[in-house]
Amino acid sequence: YQCKHCTFSTNFHSVIEQHISTNHSQDRELMCPYCKVKLVDNDHIMSHYNTH
Ligand SMILES: [Zn+2]
Ligand SMILES: [Zn+2]
């Protein structure tokens, strides 16, 4: 199983689920420090920062 969010991989499905929930679940809660808009992914963040 390959993590779709990073380069982490494992042979165990439970491990990848655990990995995603602990390492990547907060990605969806990222907020812009300037205007508190919620940002979904890194591409979104970078393009959003360019608007400031
Ligand atoms: Zn990952
Ligand atoms: Zn912003």
- Give the pLDDT band (50/70/90) at residue 12: very high
In a domain, 33, yes or no: yes
Six-digit token string for 42: 């890194």
Compute the Cα dihedral for 31, 35, 40, 42 and give only its sign. negative
> Is residue 42, in this structure, part of any structural domain at all?
yes
- Separation of CA 51 and ligand 1 centre (Å): 28
Among 32, 28, 6, CA closest to 19: 6
Could you tell me if residue 8 is inside a domain?
no
Tokens of 9: 């991989």
Residue range 1-26: mean pLDDT, rounded? 90
Whether 21 is covered by a domain: the verdict is yes
Percent of the chain at pLDDT > 90 equals 31
- 36 Cα to the center of ligand 1, angstroms: 25
Centre of ligand 2 to C-alpha 46, Å, is: 10
- What is the span of the domain harbouring residue 24? 13-49
Rounded to whole angstroms, the Cα distance separating 10 from 1 reads: 5
The verdict on residue 6 lying in a domain is no
Number of domains comprising the chain = 1
Decide: pTM greater than 0.75: no
